[in-house]
Amino acid sequence: MADGLSAVAHFLYEAGTLKHARRTGWWMAGVRDPESVAEHSWRTSLIASVIAELEGADPARAALLAVWHDSQETRTGDVNHLGKKYAPSADPEVVTADQTTGMPEVLAARVRDIVAEYEAKETPEAVCARDADKLECMLQGIEYRARGHESAQRWIDNSRARLTTDTARKLADELLSQGPLDWLHNALKPC
């Protein structure tokens, strides 16, 4: 198609592969069937909107940055920290430029700008989205630890230590003070 929608359609199918791409670092913690990159990205986007709202940033923009933050993994896979020691990471902006080739330029430019903003770590929304990425990893680690994967503690500790916003730090402390099913027990209390 001359209007670039063929390239958009290709990318939408490509993006769907993230529903099946597993977050590989969790295998080292003994998790046999870890969350997918898409599952991680969804909750990261939700968390980014929460952090941004409480930090006075634009929650929609932060969520948008977060939803695109791992989109390059359709082509690179999820390379965990050990793997990065031996193989240099692909530049997310280069991968994104390749992914958007042939799309309508207005869309391709916007997607490239979104990824560049996230990677630059300079805007309040990018800072919130990056904190959301770390907080989601910590939260997932808490859930895996509750299922008996004690090795997840390393991810919990490392993620908590890398948070930068006050909101993310306070939210992390609150999450650490609760169990993954406390929300359910609270919801089931008689009114």
Q: Which residues of 72-96 are buried (b: 16+ CB within 10 A; e: fewer)?
A: bbbeeebbeeeeeeeeeeeebeebb
Q: Whose CA is closest to 144, among 133, 134, 135, 155?
A: 155
pLDDT tens digits along 22-57: 999 999 899 999 999 999 999 999 999 999 999 999
In whole angstroms, give the CA distance from residue 123 to residue 9.
30
72 touches 96 (CB < 8 A): yes
* The pLDDT value given to residue 28: 87
* The pLDDT value given to residue 81: 80
CA distances from 189 to 25, 176, 182, 184 (A): 37, 22, 11, 9
Helix, strand, coil distribution of the chain in percent, nearest 5? 70, 0, 30
What number is the average pLDDT over the span 4-30?
94
* The pLDDT value given to residue 2: 58
* The pLDDT value given to residue 1: 47
45 touches 134 (CB < 8 A): no
In order of their start, the domains of the chain are 5-187 (1.10.3210.10)
Using DSSP, state whether 36 is helix, strand or coil: strand
Q: What proportion of the chain, given as a percentage, has pLDDT over 90?
A: 86
Quickly tell me which residue has 């008996």 as its tokens: 148
* The pLDDT value given to residue 84: 80
Check residues 3 and 178 and name the one with the higher pLDDT. 178
Q: Whose CA is closest to 139, among 22, 48, 62?
A: 48
In whole angstroms, give the CA distance from residue 147 to residue 90.
33
92 touches 72 (CB < 8 A): yes
pLDDT tens digits along 131-186: 999 999 999 999 999 999 999 999 999 999 999 999 999 999 999 999 999 999 99
* The pLDDT value given to residue 153: 97
Check residues 136 and 1 and name the one with the higher pLDDT. 136
**Residue 65: pLDDT band by 50, 70, 90 thresholds?**
very high
